[in-house]
Structures are given as C-alpha cells and as structure tokens.
Structure 1
Amino acid sequence: MTHPPAGQKSSEAGPAEGSGQLRRVALSGLLGTTIEFYDFLVYGTVAALVFGDLFFPDADPAVGTVAAFGTFAAGYVARPIGGIVFGHFGDRIGRKSMMLLTMVLMGAGSFLIGLLPTYDAIGFWAPVLLVLLRVVQGIAIGGEWGGATLMVAEHAGDRPRGLWTTFTQVGAPLGAVLSTGVVALVSTMPDDDFRAWGWRVPFLLSFLLLGAGLYIRLKVTESPLFASLSQRREHARMPLLEVLRAPRPVLLASAVGIGPFTAQALMTSFMISYAVGEGYTRSQVLTGVTVASCVALVVLPCANLLSDRFGRRPLVLAGALLSAATAFPVFALVDSHRPGLLILACVIGHGIAQSVMYGPLGALFSEMFSTRVRYTGASLGYQTATLLGAGFSPLIASGLLTTYDSSNAVALLLTAGGVITALAVWRVKETNARDLAVQAAPLASSTTSVSSAPSAPSAPSAPSARGEST
C-alpha cells in the first residue's frame, strides 16, 4: 500500500499499537462477522427449503416461497435501521460496546428462531414472531459490519487496510460455508425428521458460537482514532444529520454495493430455491454454494491485497463487469441440469465475480468518511446497499421467473446489479492511500479515470461537520 506523504498525519492518528493488538482486533472481527453471517444466512437457506410450508401453510408452494422470502426481506429492511442506530451510538459512545451488543442481539434472535413453534402449533402468531425475530437479526447485523470493519481499519493505522479488513470481509463467505454445511448435514435426515425438528439445529447451535465470539470481543481495546476523538470531545452530536448534509458519499457507497449484494442473494438463497425447483437435490445445490464460498475465501484476500497495491476502484470495477458479463452463462450452466456445471456456475457467479466486487468494500467505505461520522456513514451506505441489492432481489427474481418462465429474466437482474456498481464506482475517487485520521477527500468528478496508481491524499482540512466534502 502507498503510505501517505510525510506531514499528512494529524494528532488524531497515532495508533502506534503493536501488531498483537491489531491481530486480536482482526480475529475479533473475523469471528464476529462469521458468527453474525452464519446466523443471518442460516435463515435464508432454511427459508428456501421448508419455511414456506412450516410458517405459511395456507399458500400454494410458489406463494409460500415468496412469503418466506418476504420475512427474508424484513431482515434486510431492518439493516439500514440497525446501521443508523448503532452508527449513532458507535460514533458517540464507541465502537467496541456496539460490537458486543450486536453479537448478543443476533445470537439471541437466531436461538429463539430455533425454538419458535410453527403454524400448526400457534397459528397466526408463528409467522408474526418469525418476522419479528428476523427484524431483530436485521437490526443486529446492520450494526455489526460497520463496527467490526471500522475497528480493524482504525487499528491498522498506516498498515495496508485492504489486507487487514479482509478478516471481516471473509466472515460473510465463512459464515456461508458454516451455515450451508450445517444445513446440508441435517438435510440428509429423513424428510419428515428434517421438517419436524432437524431445521432447528443450525439455529440452536448459534448459542455456542455466541459464547466464543463474546469471549474474544471482550479482550479487544477501543479504536485509537475514536479514543483520540473522545479525548478532544469532538464527537458529532447527530452523526446521521452530518452525513446527510453532504449525502453524495453515502449515496455512492449504496450504489457501489448493489452489485455485490444482488449477486450474493441470487447466487445463494435464490439459487437454492431455483435449482431445487429445476430438479437438483438439496445436497447438490448446497454443495455448489459451499464450494463457491470456499473459493471466495481465497479470492477475497487476493482482491484486497491487489486493492492495496492498485486501488479499490479497479478491483470493484473489474468484479462488477465480470458479474455482468457472466450472468447469462451462469444461469445457462444451471439450466443444463448437470450437478458439475451447477457447481461451476456458483463458483463463477459467487466465488469469483461477487468476491472481487465485495472484498475491497470494507476498506473503501471506511476511507470515504471521517472518524466522527465513519460508523454511521459506512454502515448506512453498506446496509442500504444490502436492502436494495439483496433484500428484494430474491422477491423480484421469483416474480420475474413466474412471469416469464425463463432464467434469462433473472440473469438480466444480475447483469443490472453489476452495471450499477460499475457506473457508481467510476464516480468515486481512489481512497487506498488516504489517512483515516484526516478529513475525507472530495469525491471524483465525472472525468476521473480508473488508474492503476492510487491518488495522493488531499491536504488536511479544518474539522468539518460533514462526512466528506463534495
């Protein structure tokens, strides 16, 4: 990574912490995001398999699946709310305390879903409680990513942030590997047993993961940049208002994230439902998703290392264009009804294209906002992208499939997500050489090109109430 020029540091910088504490923070971020995404993604997998029948029995199978994905969307609708709430207190009180709270909420919500009676037992209240617990999960994960990622980025100082934020970014595919692996294991049970109680096992296991995650998180120290801000009493009074006074950064962050999250949703939760409907067995589809997630565990750190060297924008742009270009071939592979080609489709669409887009987002979003509003700005941009890109894309895809009876319509949706990300990231100024202790630099104009060399940071400016100047 290119280091900021001499004299660029401000008094807010100075995390002269040893590598031991940074490694502990990175491990905390890895475990935390893995656990949170395990809890969150287990729902999507199980919803695609049995929730339509267990919680919406009066609907026909197609409508039941859409209704189950409706609760899936409820979790995503809650994510921007979680980003705002936890972002506010994370920018006012501290990153660490919010990280602990998000983990407790997510673990408790997942565990209670595992205990939830179905429609046959309590009728109308079953889907109501399911949606309520899904909203709790959405609020929790809405605050999790921002806190975990910013803790790592702000502890890293002038070390390569792309490399270190990889630890939080790989939490998503690692959580997917764990969730799909556990569901694949229990789904080998006889179908009656799986529907009666087997589906509960992945949710109940979250209680054990919660204990391990809390143990690690209690040992990390507060972000040095936030601690310095607290000493000077320069907190933002209303971080959300300060971000919205100059909304361009958060709007661009939201648009940049649409492609990665559209690909994530269509190639995981929707793909499970679609491929099973095409005649694949549950184990074949879950194997494809698991293999793709394992590939992502390799691709993500490679993409982030390259983003430290060449910039965040070229990597995100390359992933977006690859996702758009391969959308129709990917669904053609799935429609071949050959298990090997299904796995290949998942690897291309999710393991490679989506991962190249997604990997640099942790560092990129952290670098787009100043310390006083970083938690709110980064979380709001990220979680709004999940709502727009992932929250509703399974619903839209199901509707397109029902209307046109062709996977080409779904492939077009995947292509659109990649194009939106490509256009948005073109408008963002390169950030990988930026000093997080300095006021964020202006965004690029429409004439800014994607360069292989990172731009030099702008000179420090006077403290501003805005997250980023325009």
Structure 2
Amino acid sequence: MTVSSVSLTDKRKAFSASLVGTSLEWYDFAIYSAAAALLFPRLFFPSSDSFTGVILAFSTYAVGYIARPLGALIFGRLGDRIGRKHVLVATLVLIGAATFLIGLLPTYETIGFWAPLILVLLRLAQGIGVGGELGVAVLYSNENGDSARRGFWSSASQVGPPAGNLLANAALAVISGSLSDEAFFSWGWRIAFLLSAVLVAFGLWIRIRLEDTPIAAAIQARGEQADAPLREVFRTESRGLVAAAFSRIAPDVTYALFTVFVYTYATMIVGFERSQVLIAVLIGSGVQIILIPCAGALTDRFNRRLVFGVAAAAAAIWPFIFFPLIEGGSGLGLTLGIVTGLIIHSGMYGPQGAFITDQFSPRLRSTGSSMGFAIGSTFGGAIAPLAFAALFEKTHSWMPIAVYIAVACAVSIIGMVIGRDYKASEDAQYLGAQAQATPVASPAQSTGA
C-alpha cells in the first residue's frame, strides 16, 4: 500500500510540471554556463592573458552557485510554510527575468566595469532562484507520486539540467552556425538569452494551474507548519543535511567538467572547434534525458544509496581515461568521452532527488532538501570550473583536475554511507495511510550502501 492517493493523471501532470519548469530554468542557467566558457571572457572580462579572462568569467559562474543557499533559505522555508506551488512560480519568474536582462546587458567595451558588475548581480539573482527551485521542484513530483516509485517520480526535476543544457547548447549551436564569428560575438549571442522570455511564459502557464502536493496540503490543514524550519533542520536533522549536501558534490563537479570546463579545455588546449564540443554535449544531454529517469527507476528496485555509490566510483575513475582520450584531437574520442561521462553522471543524478528528500521528515522536507541541494552545489559546482582552470594554469596538466574529481566522488560516497533510507511511516501519519515497517523500494533497501 502506498501513502499517496493522487490519481495517475495528476501524477503525470506533476511530473510534467516539474520537468518542464525545471528544464526552462536550467536553460537559463546553462546558457550562462556555456557563455561563461565561450563568450564572456572576451565580452565582459577582456585581458591580455586569455586564461585570466576565463578565470574571471568562471568566477561569475561560481556566484550563481554561491547564491544558492540564500535562495534555499528564502524559498525552502516558504515551501514548508505556504506550500510548494507558490515557490515554483516565484523562482521561475526570478530566473527568467535575470536571464532576459543579461541578453540586454551592454558589454565591457560599451560601459566599462559596470558591465561585469551588473552581470554578477544578475548571476546572483539566477543563483537565488535556482537555490529555491532545486529542492522544491523535486518535492513537487516526489510528493505527488507514490512511495513505491519515489526514485522515478523524483527524477522529473533531475531531467531539467540536461534538458535545459540541451536547449541551451542547441540554441547556441544554431545561432553560432548561422552567423559569422563577428556577428555572433557582436549581437547573435544575445538571442539565446532573450528567448528565455518565451520559455518562461510557457512554464508559468503550466505552473500557475497546479494544485499543491497532498503532503503540503495536509500539513497546512493540520496547522503543523514549522515556525523556524531551518533551525529545526540544524537541531534535529543535521545528519540528513550533511548526507544530502555530500551527495550533491560529486554530481555537480562531474557535470561541471563535462558541460562547462570541457569547452575551455577542448577548444583552447586541445584545439577542437567550438561546434565539435557543442555537438558532443548535445548528444550527451540527449542521452541523459532518457537515462536519468531510468536510473531513478532502478533505485525503486535496488538500494538507492548503493546505485548512487557505484556510479560515484565510476565517476572518480573516468576523468583519468577521458583526458588522454581527447588529447589526440579525435572528434569521435571527444564525443565518446563526454557522452560516457554524462552517462555515469546520470547514475548519480537520477537517484539524487529521491535520496535527498529521503533524508528529511515531511514538515522540514522543503527547507532541508533545498539547503542540502544548495550547500552541496556551493562546495561542488560553484568552485569546480574555477578550480579546474586555476589548477591547469598552475600545473599545465590535467592530472590535478582528475584527482580533484576523485576526491569529490569520495565525499559523495561518504554521504551515501551516513544517509538514511525512506521512511514511509512519516508520510503516512499525515495522509492517513497505513505506515510501512520497512522501506518501500525493495528488500534490498535495508542493506545499506
């Protein structure tokens, strides 16, 4: 017996709403990520040393991650206080507006130091919105699903980053392929940012029509919202917060390599064309859209922490193969390396949404999940591209980068070890369903990682 009475039609609506909305928000975030590697060093951070411009551009990329805990604090708390739906609408508007304004922003050549300063502020707004989106979007599809398939239902918002990345890189590939380099750097890049207005309008049309989740509605009906959810999380569920944050680090660091830093390394160091990298990332992102829900569903049959841990171990090894593979300049090797890296990433990212929400009780789930996502992202994705660039500039070798990733994967494996499995009884007390004595997914769920 499951703890959800939501109809299959409503489950599908919730899945679609989380997937579509998060995909559109990650389009905005991904278009910035690609631009930080390909465009912004030249447009907003001119320097006689090209790699210094890259490091400065990646610093603004990091700002979007550093801002996430603030977004998680603001919107995660609201998710526990007023429900999940309103948060999903607010974050979509915030991210979309910031991205659209980046598309209108004059470059350094036009307004000098004001250009990078405003860019940082807009990136900050993006990060605050994503910090609020991460945990709540997972919850929306998770809590509208059923306890026996939490891995699958939670993967809806996890598909958002590769889907958004696919849209973003496709937009850049089409625009750059249709224009000369001069036109692309002059004005063509702006089109991809301005398109966000159309995409956000579509996402709002979907999200405004949603109902809140049964769990959120039940908690509000009983008047049991936490008065100070963040304080309660730190006081009573700190171990879950640590496990959630640790679990986020390896996927974010791995993703930063294969969708952000790879542009810089492959084009500036190895000598690939920009279009070759874009196409490889597009293929990998397309594969992820299929594999992430499959990986989430796999953890409904096998232990979630074990599946994640095996993928994290593979992610620790692959960079030591990836860098030698692409150094020969083979387009096939580049595509194989990126696609394989993103396949391994799917094995971590698919289960991650369910794992993180598993760590928290219903009253604190929005705040706890949002903070877990955001803290992990800050220590994972925020500094990874910057660290990769700095390490390579210092050593002129890919080896320290590969070691950095291996350490990040070890941290996430520790998160799996100290984390807990889903407790269906916690949801059941609010929904009136019969509590289950053992984890729902399978007998294997009790084995640990």
TM-score interval (norm. to shorter): over 0.9
Partner of 2:182: 192
Q: Shift of the alpha carbon at 1:38? A: 0.5
Q: Does 1:257 align with 2:248?
A: yes
Task: Pick one of 276, 291, 294 that aligns with 1:284.
Answer: 276
Q: Deviations over 1:358-386 (max 9, x none)?
A: 11111111121111111110011111111
Counterpart of 2:210, as a letter, is V
Structure 1 runs of 4+ aligned residues shifted over 3 Å read: 432-439
Task: Pick one of 374, 388, 392 that aligns with 2:379.
Answer: 388
Q: Does 1:51 align with 2:40?
A: yes
Change in Cα spacing, 1:343 to 1:434, as seen in structure 2 (3 Å) is farther
Partner of 1:296: 288
Q: Shift of the alpha carbon at 1:435? A: 5.3
Matched length: 435
- Tell me if structure 1 keeps the 8 A contact 2:359–2:421: no
SS state of the match for residue 427, structure 2?
A: coil
Task: Pick one of 218, 228, 246 that aligns with 1:228.
Answer: 218
Q: Does 1:16 align with 2:2?
A: no
Q: Shift of the alpha carbon at 1:166? A: 2.0
Task: Pick one of 38, 42, 48 that aligns with 2:27.
Answer: 38
Q: Shift of the alpha carbon at 1:185? A: 1.4
Task: Pick one of 141, 146, 154 that aligns with 2:130.
Answer: 141
Partner of 2:228: 238
CA distance in 1, matches of 2:443, 2:309: 12
Partner of 2:171: 182
CA distance in 1, matches of 2:47, 2:291: 43
Q: Shift of the alpha carbon at 1:432? A: 7.7
- Tell me if structure 1 keeps the 8 A contact 2:257–2:385: yes
Change in Cα spacing, 1:18 to 1:116, as seen in structure 2 (3 Å) is same
Q: Shift of the alpha carbon at 1:31? A: 0.6
Long gaps (5+) in structure 2: 436-441
Change in Cα spacing, 1:416 to 1:434, as seen in structure 2 (3 Å) is farther
SS state of the match for residue 147, structure 2?
A: coil
Q: Deviations over 1:7-61 (max 9, x none)?
A: xxxxxx5x42211112111111011110011100100101111101111124521
Partner of 1:447: none
Question: Percent identity between the aligned chains?
Answer: 40
- Tell me if structure 1 keeps the 8 A contact 2:358–2:421: no
Q: Does 1:314 align with 2:314?
A: no
- Tell me if structure 2 keeps the 8 A contact 1:311–1:432: no
Counterpart of 1:128, as a letter, is L
TM-score if structure 2 supplies the norm length? 0.93
CA distance in 2, matches of 1:253, 1:86: 18
CA distance in 2, matches of 1:127, 1:276: 24
CA distance in 1, matches of 2:147, 2:382: 35
CA distance in 2, matches of 1:185, 1:389: 30
TM-score if structure 1 supplies the norm length? 0.89
CA distance in 2, matches of 1:137, 1:287: 26
Partner of 2:77: 88
- Tell me if structure 1 keeps the 8 A contact 2:239–2:418: no
Task: Pick one of 125, 148, 161 that aligns with 2:150.
Answer: 161
Partner of 2:438: none
SS state of the match for residue 221, structure 1?
A: coil
CA distance in 1, matches of 2:214, 2:250: 33
Counterpart of 2:164, as a letter, is G
CA distance in 2, matches of 1:57, 1:172: 29
SS state of the match for residue 5, structure 2?
A: coil
- Tell me if structure 1 keeps the 8 A contact 2:358–2:420: no
Greater helix content:
2
Partner of 1:332: 324
